[in-house]
Amino acid sequence: MSGEPISRRRALGLLGLGAAGAAGWATVLGAPLGGRLRPAARGQGLAEPRVLASRDGLLDVRLVAAPGVRLAGRDTTAWGFNGTSPGPTLRVRPGDLLRVRLVNHIDQPTNLHTHGLHVSPSANSDNPFITIKPGGSHDYTIRVPARHPAGTFWYHPHHHGTVADQIFAGLVGALLVDGAEGKSDLPVNDDRLLMVTDTTLDGAGRVASPTMMARMTGREGELVLVNGQHQPVITAAPGSLQRWRIINGCVSRVLALRLDGHRLTQVALDGVFLRAPVDRDRVVLAPGNRTDLLVRPTGSGRYALVSDPYDRGSLGKMGNRPSTSGPVTLATLATAGPATTTTPSVPATLPAPAVPQGPVTGRRQLTFAMGAGRMGMGGMSFTIDGRTYDPDRNDQSIALGAVEEWTVVNTSPMDHPFHLHVWPFHVLAGSAGMPPAGVLQDVVLVPARGWVRLRIPFSDFAGRSVFHCHILDHEDLGMMATVNVRGQ
């Protein structure tokens, strides 16, 4: 280390914080040094949020968004639904009615989005244009189609301008769609949910506010949590078959997942089954993405589930490269006890939902860009086709039934995860050369100065909704646009 008298790095070192934390503070968050919440002893068993499951075709729940949850084993003033972050796991089946009364007990407007669900965007369904004022409430009625694929989805607020703040503060929850008869679609020994979030808490348990620079980069929290816990332990019998449903609920952080001593068998992306299991050393999840993994613990020992550094670019000449510090441990797999004798095998093929076919009826090109303008006015512009978000403007008009091919071009020096509500898409190709997953997904990373080509069937659900960058700071800064699907 060089001889500067009190470098920020050394000052942090004196406070007992690692270099990774130092990088996070110095560059991403502008909060004063000192006074960070210390996670309670790590190594607690993985706990899952309470499950609220549908009965007789109906799930009727009340979700209260309010401050005061436990995170990392500590009391905080972070936000949750019904007193926890993540909020309760909602479990429905195809054909069910999901009724949610969302009660707003936070001090800013909010609303609800069912991320990844193929449901109506209109009226009181998955409508991102709704505003619930502080003290108010709203009744959502969401009909899950009878042919909706089973899988791992999630819910979070979507009130433009404060989405990143509210997710960073803890307002997330899982939303699982079970198979049609509620049957297990994939026999395993353990089926677990791992909702990954990140946040930064001061010594009093308050959520830190980001600097303008951090918002432009996309804030990454210093604490990476799984189900609100810091580095929990997942205990499993040797030889058992584990299904881990992992949701990247972070505002901006890309997860590059790896499990020490094991290969990961990916069976689903963004909720839905792949055609066949794929073995991987690492699974990359952009914010908003989900994956279901099969893990078969070997031997007996402790293995870290880590997220490796992922370079998602920078603001260009303004500097500030996020997420290039060391790997982050998310959880530990502890294998112990006698080997499982009743072990389902990994199936050779999976019940992937059918991919709608049909000729392409229209092609569009969309450009995600970061402009250097307006520096004196608080930073760069984040645009789609040169414009920032306006909820009253129709940016893309589409006839119901169209099958479109969209090329999403990214002219900026940062990756942007493209996300479209309601209508999932296939990735056909992309500049990074990654093999397309071959199934419908709802978030895809568009590499810095790169592109992806998508095929989107708008075969049902007329109505207006949005697409945006799922680095939610970018979305709040305007990198969002509307789509209007017109019925016949």
Residues forming the site for ligand C2O (CB under 6 A)? 113, 115, 156, 158, 288, 419, 421, 468, 470
Q: Please tell me the distance from the alpha carbon of residue 140 to that of residue 135, in angstroms, as a whole number.
A: 17
Q: How far is the CB of 382 from ligand C2O (least distance, A)?
A: 15
Q: What is the layout of strands, in order, in the sheet containing 233-236?
A: 233-236, 328-335, 302-307, 255-259, 283-285
Which CB, 186 or 480, lies closer to ligand C2O?
480
Name every residue whose Cβ is closer than 8 Å to that of residue 249 and which is 6 or more positions away in sequence.
86, 154, 156, 167, 172, 195, 196, 197, 287
DSSP labels for 284-322? Answer: EE-TT-EEEEEE---SSSEEEEEE-----B--GGG----
Contacted entry of Cu ion, ligand C2O, none for residue 230, CB cut-off 5 to 8 Å set by kind: none
Which CB, 258 or 416, lies closer to Cu ion?
416
Our finding on whether 472 is near Cu ion (CB under 5 A) is no
Name every residue whose Cβ is closer than 8 Å to that of residue 349 and which is 6 or more positions away in sequence.
275, 276
In the bound complex, which residue of the shown chain has the CB atom lying closest to ligand C2O?
A: 115
Which CB, 12 or 167, lies closer to Cu ion?
167
Contacted entry of ligand C2O, Cu ion, none for residue 471, CB cut-off 5 to 8 Å set by kind: Cu ion
Q: How far is the CB of 273 from Cu ion (least distance, A)?
A: 20
Is the CB of residue 252 less than 8 Å from the CB of residue 287? yes
Q: How far is the CB of 471 from Cu ion (least distance, A)?
A: 4
**Chain centroid to CA 184:** 24
Which CB, 46 or 164, lies closer to ligand C2O?
164
Which CB, 295 or 422, lies closer to ligand C2O?
422
Our finding on whether 31 is near Cu ion (CB under 5 A) is no
Which CB, 241 or 422, lies closer to ligand C2O?
422
Contacted entry of ligand C2O, Cu ion, none for residue 138, CB cut-off 5 to 8 Å set by kind: none
**Chain centroid to CA 408:** 20
Q: Which of residues 97-126 bind Cu ion (CB under 5 A)?
A: 115
Q: How far is the CB of 376 from Cu ion (least distance, A)?
A: 22
Tokens of 406: 């969209």
Our finding on whether 469 is near Cu ion (CB under 5 A) is yes
Which CB, 155 or 451, lies closer to ligand C2O?
155
Which CB, 162 or 242, lies closer to ligand C2O?
162
Q: How far is the CB of 110 from ligand C2O (least distance, A)?
A: 14
- What Å distances lie between residue 259 and 273, 307, 325, 459, CA to CA? 21, 9, 18, 39
Q: How far is the CB of 343 from Cu ion (least distance, A)?
A: 36
Q: How far is the CB of 412 from Cu ion (least distance, A)?
A: 8
For the chain, what is the radius of gyration of the CA atoms? 22
Contacted entry of ligand C2O, Cu ion, none for residue 219, CB cut-off 5 to 8 Å set by kind: none
Our finding on whether 160 is near Cu ion (CB under 5 A) is no
Contacted entry of ligand C2O, Cu ion, none for residue 416, CB cut-off 5 to 8 Å set by kind: Cu ion
Q: Which of residues 401-430 bind Cu ion (CB under 5 A)?
A: 416, 421
Contacted entry of Cu ion, ligand C2O, none for residue 474, CB cut-off 5 to 8 Å set by kind: Cu ion
Q: How far is the CB of 421 from ligand C2O (least distance, A)?
A: 6
Which CB, 262 or 470, lies closer to ligand C2O?
470
Is the CB of residue 149 less than 8 Å from the CB of residue 62? no
Q: Please tell me the distance from the alpha carbon of residue 50 to that of residue 265, in angstroms, as a whole number.
A: 27
Tokens of 94: 């195809």
Is the CB of residue 194 less than 8 Å from the CB of residue 301? no
Which CB, 272 or 350, lies closer to ligand C2O?
272
Side-chain-facing half-sphere of 453: CA atoms under 13 Å? 11
DSSP conformation class of 267? E
Contacted entry of Cu ion, ligand C2O, none for residue 148, CB cut-off 5 to 8 Å set by kind: none
Which residue in this structure is represented by tokens 């389902």?
A: 344
Q: Please tell me the distance from the alpha carbon of residue 277 to that of residue 287, in angstroms, as a whole number.
A: 22
Shortest CA distance to 435 belongs to which of 280, 263, 305, 260?
A: 280
Contacted entry of Cu ion, ligand C2O, none for residue 158, CB cut-off 5 to 8 Å set by kind: ligand C2O
- Judged on CB neighbours under 10 Å (0-12, 13-18, 19+), 263 is middle
Contacted entry of Cu ion, ligand C2O, none for residue 258, CB cut-off 5 to 8 Å set by kind: none
> What H or E segment, with its residue span, contains residue 167?
helix 163-168
Q: How far is the CB of 161 from ligand C2O (least distance, A)?
A: 13
User: Which of 72, 254, 370, 471 contacts Cu ion by CB under 5 A?
Assistant: 471
Q: How far is the CB of 90 from ligand C2O (least distance, A)?
A: 15
Our finding on whether 286 is near Cu ion (CB under 5 A) is no
Q: Please tell me the distance from the alpha carbon of residue 20 to that of residue 222, in angstroms, as a whole number.
A: 8
Our finding on whether 474 is near Cu ion (CB under 5 A) is yes
DSSP conformation class of 110? B
Is the CB of residue 132 less than 8 Å from the CB of residue 110? yes
Q: What is the binding site for Cu ion (CB under 5 A)?
A: 115, 416, 421, 469, 471, 474
